Amino acid sequence: MTPLFAGLIGSIAKRSLPRGQWVVGAVIAVAGQIVLAMTATAGAAVGTTGSLSGDALVLAACLALATSFVAGAALTEQIGAWASTFWAILLASIALSPWAVIQASRIAWADLAPQSWVALIHLTLGAGFLAWVAWFWALARGGVARVAVLQFCQPLFSLAFAAVLLAEPLTPPLLLAAAAILCGVVIARRGENAKSQHRPADLQRPPGAPPSSAGRRFPRKRNSPRDCEREAAAKP
């Protein structure tokens, strides 16, 4: 749901409407993710059910993450991807520090295996920092709606890694859901690409690039009094 929300919030921020093809592709991808989630949890323990509060928290998290995509892309155009990422980490650290202190006291840090430390470092520096720098840069350069839909492909990579590393079987329902997600992403990307081709040249330039001068009228340079005297003297 996050890419769909990001595209809609980005369109609202720019006071424009997303193309119908983009909306259709995003909805198809969301439907594929729903089928994928239902198929993956079909073998869960009997009696395990979700809660309305849990669903509301997940929905709120999706909206907050989508808003961060739009805000991060806009901020990256002004101060760059590195500075935007540092500000995002700083604000998130301030908000999460009370819970982090409580949870840190419950963890036996001395008993953690080396693999756990490697995973923690990867999550902190890789997924938590470098990945966000690249993501904000891509959103600012390619547009929120056009780039955010690529996040629908995360379950596809998860399925591939699960099959290769964990030898999990790829059942026909999983493959069908993956195909629906991929088709939705392709449709949404084509719709947004077609929209970008009809934008003016100034809206297609990369962030920080000088505006195009094509089609603009510049004021005619006025001659100085000395130039006027020279022109008058040169006339017969």
- Asked if 7 contacts 16 with a C-beta cutoff of 8 angstroms, the reply is no
Q: 7: part of which helix (H) or strand (E)?
A: helix 2-13
Domain assignment present for 81: yes
Torsion 151-184-38-40 (CA) sign:
negative
pLDDT tens, residue by residue, 205-228: 555 555 544 444 444 455 556 666
- Per the model's pLDDT, the better-predicted residue between 39 and 116 turns out to be 116
What pLDDT score does 132 carry?
Answer: 92
Task: List Cβ neighbours of 5 (8 Å cut-off, separation of 6 or more).
Answer: 62, 63, 66
Residue with tokens 């690039």: 209
> Residue 174 corresponds to which tokens in the numbers above?
């999983």
> Residue 131 corresponds to which tokens in the numbers above?
């990945």
Domain assignment present for 224: no
Domain assignment present for 226: no
Domain assignment present for 230: no
CA–centroid distance for 108 within its chain: 35
Domain assignment present for 235: no
Domain assignment present for 227: no
What pLDDT score does 36 carry?
Answer: 84
Q: What is the CA radius of gyration of the chain?
A: 26
Domain assignment present for 179: yes
Band of pLDDT at residue 67, cut at 50, 70 and 90: very high
d(CA 194, CA 173): 32
Mean pLDDT of 86-109: 88
pLDDT tens, residue by residue, 31-57: 988 888 887 666 554 555 567 787 788
Full residue range of the structural domain in which residue 41 is found: 2-204
User: Could you give the number of structural domains in the chain?
Assistant: 1
Domain assignment present for 228: no
Mean pLDDT of 58-76: 91
Mean pLDDT computed over every residue of the chain: 81
pLDDT tens, residue by residue, 3-17: 888 988 888 888 887
Q: How many CB atoms lie within 10 A of CB 72?
A: 22
